[in-house]
Structure 1
Amino acid sequence: MAVINPYLNFNGNTEEAFNFYKSVFGGEFIMVQRFKDTPQGGNVAEGEGDKIMHISLPIGKSNILMATDALESMEHKAIAGTNFQLSIGTESQQEADTLFNGLSAGGQVEVPMAKMFWGAYFGMFTDKFGIKWMISYDENALPG
């Protein structure tokens, strides 16, 4: 069965926010990936390479709080109140395709389902009601 986790977008202060969340919830980050460490790292605007491309903090037994810095240089902007997405982690590629195709029907696909550089099968869209979703299948992911 799929697991749903919140994915937050910040305007450049993801690291500060997540250090705060870590101080409250405890635990350790599962992943911290900076824009400079991605295959497109050389295309990031000057001074933004150390910004957070992806960070994850486990909360409780099966929840993961995740986030990114929404870089305006990459035409992204986090707007308070709509600066989040729902991220679904699936148990199979077939389940990922089924959920992606079903939920994105009538909506706007931003990233079609495909194998990504970090190893996951991933896609992203806004559904017909304006809700942003990310669907991911990663056979190497930690149990959720």
Structure 2
Amino acid sequence: MKNFYNYLNFSGNARQAMEFYAKCLGADVQIMPFSQGPADMPKDPKTADMVLHSRLSKGNAIIMASDCPPGMPLTQGNNFAISVDCDSREEVDKLFASLGEKGQVIMPVQDMFWGDYFGMITDQFGVNWMFNHTPKK
């Protein structure tokens, strides 16, 4: 494992929150709106400016965030996940299976449009986990 990160979810105001955090922390922020998602992702003009993914960084400190997609309600208290940056696809599979025991699969592990191997679960205690492996180029 390389790192753990906090991943925050918002209900339509992720851009404002991340820009505010960047200003307060003197950090850099990158934001990808839903409109820049993969070609096969449904595009809705009402959600075009919502945040598909954002990354705030200062030195080694990182916070990531997104807006919940339409149809996925946000509940205060579960609007975060622990994101694990894994060393290999095998490590992703192992952690996904072990931490997912008696839990719920949110997104099966798969190759993603941004080039990484990724999956999401909610464990048996209600904690959300994201597992990611970025292959070496």
Q: Would you say same fold, with TM above 0.5? A: yes
Please report the RMSD computed on the Cα atoms of aligned residues, expressed in angstroms.
Answer: 1.8
Letter in 2 for 1:48: T
| TM-score, normalisation: structure 1 | 0.86
Letter in 2 for 1:92: S
Decide whether aligned partners of structure 1 residues 42 and 120 sit closer, same or farther in structure 2, where only a CA change above 3 A counts: closer
Matched residue, 2:16: 16
Please give the residue correspondences for 1:31-110 in structure 2 after superposition, counting only pairs within 5 Å: 31-39=30-38, 43-61=42-60, 63-71=61-69, 74-110=70-106
Unaligned runs of 5+ in 1: none
Matched residue, 1:27: 27
**Structure 1 residue 110: Cα displacement:** 1.5
**Structure 1 residue 44: Cα displacement:** 3.1
Distance, in Å, in 1 between the alignment partners of 2:4 and 2:98 is 16
Unaligned runs of 5+ in 2: none
**Structure 1 residue 8: Cα displacement:** 0.5
SS across alignment from 1:91: coil
Number of equivalenced pairs: 137
SS across alignment from 2:28: coil
**Structure 1 residue 41: Cα displacement:** 7.0
Structure 1 segments, 4+ long, off by >4 Å, are none
Residue identity (%): 36
Matched residue, 2:121: 125
Distance, in Å, in 2 between the alignment partners of 1:104 and 1:25 is 34
Distance, in Å, in 2 between the alignment partners of 1:6 and 1:99 is 17
SS across alignment from 2:57: strand
SS across alignment from 1:8: strand
Q: What do residues 3-44 of structure 1 show as CA deviations (whole Å, max 9, x unaligned)?
A: 111110111011100111001111212x32111111257623
Correspondence 1:116 to 2:93: no
